[in-house]
Amino acid sequence: MRTGSSDQLGQAPETDAEHCAWAEDFARDLSDLADALREHREILENEGGQHASVMAGLDEAAEHLSEAASSMSDHLQDYLSAYEGVREVAEHTDGKLPGGDPNGTYWANTR
């Protein structure tokens, strides 16, 4: 599993581009965890001797991780679509939005 912006869950992204990169990394990390859990489950199944409820729990956990990864990817697509117009304005105004904080830098670095 990679290390990246998703390792810093307590820190809010400072720019639009950081938010997008964080969401992509986090979705990928969740998906990687689901894949690793499935691989681990397969190893345990091949070794034998595991209780059926343990195996079912691993399957369920992997499925939940996959669903979370999908939800994060959906969030990113929704976010990109919802703020597309804002990005266009920000690109033409050096990241300063009309009526926005004149000292704000969130939109200075867009995706």
Tokens representing 18?
A: 């950081």
Say how far apart CA 106 and CA 84 lie, in whole Å.
14
pLDDT tens sequence across 77-102: 999 999 999 988 988 888 888 888 88
Residue with the larger pLDDT of the pair 15 and 65: 65
Q: Are 71 and 89 in contact (CB under 8 A)?
A: no
The 10 Å Cβ neighbour count of residue 52 is 7
**pLDDT for 108 beyond 90:** no
pLDDT tens sequence across 29-61: 999 999 999 999 999 999 998 899 999 999 999
Question: What local confidence, expressed as pLDDT, does residue 9 receive?
Answer: 60
Q: What is the pTM of this model?
A: 0.78
Say how far apart CA 90 and CA 107 lie, in whole Å.
6
Domain boundaries, the chain: 15-97
Q: Are 23 and 72 in contact (CB under 8 A)?
A: yes
